[in-house]
Amino acid sequence: MSAEEYSVRIEPHARTLRVAAGQAVLEAALAAGLNLPHSCKSGHCGSCRARLIAGEIRYPSGRPLGISAAEERSGHVLLCQARARSDLVVQARLIAAVADVEIKTLPCRIAQLTALAPDVMQVMLRLPAVERLRFHAGQYLDVLLEGGRRRSFSIASPPHDSELIELHVRRVSGGGFTERLFGAAAAGADAAAIAVGALLRIEGPVGQFSYREGAGPALMIAGGTGFAPLKSMLRHVLETGIRRDIHLYWGARQARDVYEEARVLEWVRRCPQLKFTAVLSEASASAPSHTRAGWVHEAVLADHPDLAGFEVYAAGPPAMIEAIRASFPRHGLPPERLYFDSFDYAPDVARREGAAGS
């Protein structure tokens, strides 16, 4: 083993992998086929928390927000941010794979660009005629950029309609990829803009957030462009004839941020099994009847104070996800029936820091 690599042993599974100096332990584990728990990969959600049994790690930007000082003192680490400074022994749990879908690296072209909101672009990707991307509703893909950088985006199209892969891309200040993408739609776009016809490379599908087949009622909770993976799930359910009661909540700041409201209301009109509530932190006095003011997780609890009989799918920013994880079990939701994708809107990074439609 070279001086720039360390050994990491994952217990109690007796799996050993090698991690490069400066490489996140989680990244190395996933590359080695070890399906460790994770979500945001940015150190906020805490999903990848594990116990350090032996060895020494460092965090490139100090202790992440997703782990407390007390947890750190007790030996816990966040694998998505931890870099090895020696050989390590880590206690972590492996989880079952979403399914036996193959992760592929594929070329694709931008087929369509449509502004859904001032800061949200619908991007439709066309794969080569001989290729198909098999995925499960809720998963995401990585757009591979220069210099080993990646941007992660949830797939908004359903598995049964994958001729074009739909992404919802939010404009990120300082994000080179999104700035170039939005520049393509602006007058006088320069040569660096990414326009219709541009060739990209993608890798996917990735992620453990996916729809589970079931007959009981489900609550789907989106924060901002967290609607993207839920759109994939909803289309999967509604267009394949699955009979299941679903209540979709979409939390946003203003009405314009609920950028596909008209489409959702059309689904509600056609599908009695679906209910819809938009929850705005800055709701106007003239908001329609399906719109409420406040925070989305509080609106869910006001409507459903007893969650014992539900499954919950939530996708959105870390603060929303943490509020749901903290409060919903107190209202009877079994933790194993909460499926979530926590993401940040972040500039271009080496690995996922902004899925679920960021």
**Amino acid 192: pLDDT:** 66
Residues forming a β-bridge with 106 = 202
Strand arrangement of the beta sheet that strand 49-54 belongs to: 15-20, 5-11, 88-91, 49-54, 76-78
Task: Tell which residue, 56, 86, 203, has the closest CA to residue 139.
Answer: 203
Structure tokens at 317: 């920013």
DSSP 8-state class, residue 349: B
Helix runs in the chain, H state only = 25-31, 69-73, 176-183, 227-239, 261-270, 296-303, 318-327
Task: Tell which residue, 186, 153, 147, has the closest CA to residue 170.
Answer: 153
Structure tokens at 312: 């919950």
Angle, CA 201 vertex, CA 197 and CA 206 arms, to 5°: 130
Tens place of pLDDT per residue across the chain (358 aa):
455 899 999 998 888 999 998 999 998 988 887 777 776 777 877 778 899 999 999 999 899 888 888 889 999 999 999 999 999 999 987 665 555 577 788 999 999 999 999 999 999 999 998 888 999 999 999 899 887 778 889 999 999 998 899 999 999 877 778 888 887 555 444 546 789 999 999 988 888 889 999 889 999 999 999 999 999 999 999 999 999 999 999 999 999 999 999 999 999 999 999 999 999 998 776 677 789 999 999 999 999 999 999 999 999 998 899 899 999 999 999 989 999 998 765 444 444 433 433 3
Residues forming a β-bridge with 293 = 280
Distance CA 252, CA 242 (A): 28
Rounded to a whole number of angstroms, the CA Rg of the chain reads 20
**Amino acid 154: pLDDT:** 95
Angle, CA 145 vertex, CA 111 and CA 316 arms, to 5°: 75
**Amino acid 186: pLDDT:** 53
**Amino acid 188: pLDDT:** 45
Helix axis angle for 227-239 and 261-270, nearest 10°, is: 20
**Amino acid 98: pLDDT:** 53
Distance CA 29, CA 41 (A): 13
Q: Which residues contact 285 (CB under 8 A, 6 or more apart)?
A: none
